[in-house]
Amino acid sequence: MHLLDDETDETEKGIRLFVSDIERRGTPVSATGRLLLNNLLMGIMDVRVSASKFIKLHPEARSIAIKRPLIIVGLPRTGSTFLLSLLAQDVGTRHLRFWEMNWPIPPPKESTYYTDFRIAAQDTGMSAIDLVCPAYIDECAKNHVIAASTIEEELLILHHNFLLFSHYFLTGYDSKFSVRVPFFF
């Protein structure tokens, strides 16, 4: 049985491989780690299910043209985030904020873009992470500021497709579903 209507979506397969690889390797996962892992994986599935339902209700969304995209490519610590933030100051550009990448569906409305309930929910989630993993957010912020309303690289949205986990270490094989385990386990 598929949670998603689209049987070609391989998100469930990726999650099952991720979990089975952790179990197969006997990777020690603390109770805190299991809680965080569960929340991460449930969040990925929630977004995928929401996206599937949204597309079913709004098939025209697939035909929206993205005109003249600007793609920034850079190695870590080379200024790509700074460049993105600088370019995002242009009112004629569209960029994503951290909260949008974690909760992209439904698309935000212009009228409530700065007051969307998901901003407060993202802040609450980050506070919860700080309670469970004290200093994690502060450690990350040494290299990259993370807050609900900060402008963020769009690559993070890929983790909803199980194509990317950021701030994780590669633990095993190389494939579309490369397994990564958070460093705090």
Q: Looking at the domain assignment, is residue 148 inside a domain?
A: yes
Structural domain count of the chain: 1
Q: Which of 15-24, 54-63, 119-128, 172-181 has the lowest mean pLDDT?
A: 172-181
Cross-strand bridge partners of residue 182? 168
Find the CATH number of the domain harbouring 175: 3.40.50.300
Q: Looking at the domain assignment, is residue 2 inside a domain?
A: no
- The structure's pTM equals 0.74
Q: Looking at the domain assignment, is residue 4 inside a domain?
A: no
User: Which tokens go with 64?
Assistant: 């929206």
- Residue 58's pLDDT band, with cuts at 50, 70 and 90, is very high
Q: Looking at the domain assignment, is residue 6 inside a domain?
A: no
Q: Looking at the domain assignment, is residue 109 inside a domain?
A: yes
Q: Looking at the domain assignment, is residue 130 inside a domain?
A: yes
Counting other chains too, the contacts that 3-6 makes at CB distance below 8 Å and 24 or more residues apart are: 3/45, 3/48, 3/49, 4/48, 4/49, 4/52, 5/52, 5/56, 6/52
Q: Looking at the domain assignment, is residue 24 inside a domain?
A: yes
Which residues, 6+ apart, have CB-to-CB distance to 178 below 8 Å?
A: 170, 172
Q: Looking at the domain assignment, is residue 89 inside a domain?
A: yes
Nearest to 169 by CA among 185, 151, 149: 185
Task: Provide the percentage of residues in the chain whose pLDDT is more than 70.
Answer: 81
Measured CA to CA, the distance from residue 28 to residue 22 in angstroms comes to 8
Domain assignment of residue 21, given as a range: 11-63+72-182
